[in-house]
Amino acid sequence: MTKIFYQVSLVKMKRMIMPAIILVFFVVGLIIFNGYSENANQSATVEKPKDFKCLKCHKGSKSLENMTEEKGITSAEALRFLIRKGPKSGLHKTVPDEDLEKAIQYLNLK
């Protein structure tokens, strides 16, 4: 009697293992696909420029990100005003408009 019960339970267990394995592969596939789709969306967005004059001086604690947070700059117009007519405008006289636009794009300002 116990031998028959053991064989029946073994058959039931084999029937349950295959769907469990399929479920595990399905879940792992979803996780991998989700990670891939997030990376695909990120690469489709506009990449930040990394080769403009501002990044030569603005490093470390004086990085562009830190300066915008410190000064409360939230728009491209505010950045343009501070660079051209602000207290440090004398240091930024040689910054071309192209680099200023790259800095705005780099900081994702609108």
pLDDT digits (tens, 9 = 90+) for 40-78: 555 555 667 778 888 888 888 898 999 999 999 999 999
> CB–CB of 54/64 below 8 Å?
yes
Domain of 81?
A: 54-106
**6 confidence band (pLDDT: 50, 70, 90):** low
- The yes-or-no verdict on residue 107 having pLDDT over 80 is yes
pLDDT above 70: residue 86:
yes
Looking at the structure of the chain, the number of domains it has is 2
pLDDT at position 1, please? Answer: 55
Q: Are 99 and 42 in contact (CB under 8 A)?
A: no
Please say whether the beta carbons of 49 and 102 come within 8 A: yes
Pair (11, 31) in one structural domain: yes
Give the DSSP letter string of 53-69: THHHH--GGG-HHHHHH
pLDDT at 17: 82
Residues 101 and 58 in one domain: yes
- My answer on whether 60 and 97 are in the same domain is yes
